[in-house]
């Protein structure tokens, strides 16, 4: 069904952008070009893709929505519990704001969210928009409450709401609707001046055909939400007709490459559907916890729940997640050390 294809597209698009950008995270555009060339395949460990916190937190949000689709308080409690369990399994690449929030959850502190303007809430928000694409009140209520589990800075919260709103517009509007129309609709919900001005700048750059390098310099590519969300917006508006090309452009600009590409990938998947994403690359993502099979099962569950059919929320194996994280730590550390070598 169309709804399932768009929800699966958002989740699989997140995974695709995350896995493609992971090996380049924190690198400059020049370093990425020298070491990887154009990033159109996975580079962390051979040709297999691995997802990180961007995809995993998106999956936890989807799981919580499937368990409590009509009760925002219970959904938030479920997400808070699952986030703590996930954090205890030693994931890598977690932002400082999310780390602090998870510690607060473990200590029983309320509120758990911290005053951080990182992109941790935004990177996982697209699935909220796709699930509630025709229900704006619920989209805002659930989107805000889930964002504030980790981030309470108004810029971070509105960044997450904007990501959800744009995903909703991509999923809800008729096929073939230009990305500019979807973004115009989403822009209306942003009231924080700094974020709004950055989004307008990104839109202007895209519509006048600016290069990705020019947009990266103007928007910023860091994990600051006022950089990441507008830069991903530029990628969607400038290159969104070709998902792999768009992701390669955004990743090649450097910075917080996995999160920037995860946000963009979610919008591309919501706009075009999972069936339009590069199947060979999706199939090369490691299919363990939070892999393509799990993400498709979550999308199927959410689509059925939307249709009024009660469906259990797919779970993942905590033991396998821990084993995978521990096994890959040497690889992740090796990539980090490799970045300091000047050739």
Evaluated on CA atoms 281, 284, 290, 296, the torsion sign reads positive
Is residue 185 within 8 A of residue 115, CB to CB? The reply is no
Evaluated on CA atoms 258, 82, 118, 101, the torsion sign reads negative
- Residue 97 CA to residue 151 CA, distance in Å, equals 7
β-partners of residue 49 are 285
Alpha helices in 208-291 (DSSP H): 212-219, 225-239, 243-252, 257-272, 279-283
Known binding positions: 52-54, 256, 258-259
End-to-end CA distance of the chain: 49
What DSSP assignment string belongs to 160-226? Answer: HHHHHHHHHHHHHSPTT--HHHHHHHHHTT---HHHHHHHHHHHHHHHTT--HHHHHHHH--SSBHH
Instruction: State CA 170 to chain mean position distance.
Output: 15
- Residue 8 CA to residue 56 CA, distance in Å, equals 14
- Residue 20 token pair: 């493609």
- Residue 53 CA to residue 255 CA, distance in Å, equals 16
Known binding positions for Mg(2+): 52-54, 256, 258-259
At residue 236, φ and ψ (nearest 5 deg) are -65, -45
β-partners of residue 45 are 48
How many residues in total does the chain contain? 343
């Amino acid at each position: 069904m169309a709804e399932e294809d768009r929800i699966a597209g958002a989740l699989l698009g997140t995974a695709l952008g995350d896995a493609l950008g992971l090996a380049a995270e924190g690198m400059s555009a020049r370093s990425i070009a020298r070491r990887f060339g154009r990033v159109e395949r996975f580079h962390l460990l051979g040709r297999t893709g691995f997802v990180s916190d961007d995809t995993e937190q998106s999956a936890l949000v989807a799981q919580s929505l499937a368990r409590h689709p009509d009760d925002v308080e219970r959904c938030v409690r479920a997400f808070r519990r699952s986030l703590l369990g996930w954090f205890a399994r030693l994931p890598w690449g977690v932002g400082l704001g999310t780390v602090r929030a998870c510690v607060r959850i473990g200590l029983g502190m309320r509120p758990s969210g911290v005053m951080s303007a990182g992109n941790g809430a935004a990177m996982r928000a697209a699935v909220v928009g796709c699930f509630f694409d025709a229900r704006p009140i619920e989209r805002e209520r659930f989107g805000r409450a889930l964002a504030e589990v980790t981030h309470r800075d108004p810029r971070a919260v509105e960044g997450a709401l904007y990501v959800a709103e744009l995903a909703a517009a991509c999923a809800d509007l008729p096929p073939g609707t230009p990305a500019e129309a979807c973004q115009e609709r989403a822009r209306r919900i942003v009231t924080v001046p700094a974020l709004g001005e950055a989004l307008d700048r990104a839109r202007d750059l895209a519509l006048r055909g600016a290069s990705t390098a020019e947009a990266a310099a103007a928007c910023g590519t860091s994990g600051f939400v006022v950089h990441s969300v507008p830069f991903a917006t530029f990628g969607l508006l400038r290159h969104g007709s070709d998902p792999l090309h768009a992701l390669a452009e955004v990743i090649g600009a450097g910075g917080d490459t996995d999160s920037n590409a995860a946000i963009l990938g979610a919008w591309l998947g919501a706009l075009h559907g999972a069936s339009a994403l590069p199947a060979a690359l999706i199939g090369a993502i490691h299919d363990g916890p939070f892999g393509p099979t799990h993400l498709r099962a979550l999308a199927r569950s959410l689509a059925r729940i939307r249709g009024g059919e009660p469906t259990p929320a797919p779970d993942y194996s905590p033991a396998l997640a821990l084993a995978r994280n521990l096994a890959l730590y040497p690889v992740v550390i090796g990539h980090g050390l490799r970045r300091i070598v000047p050739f």
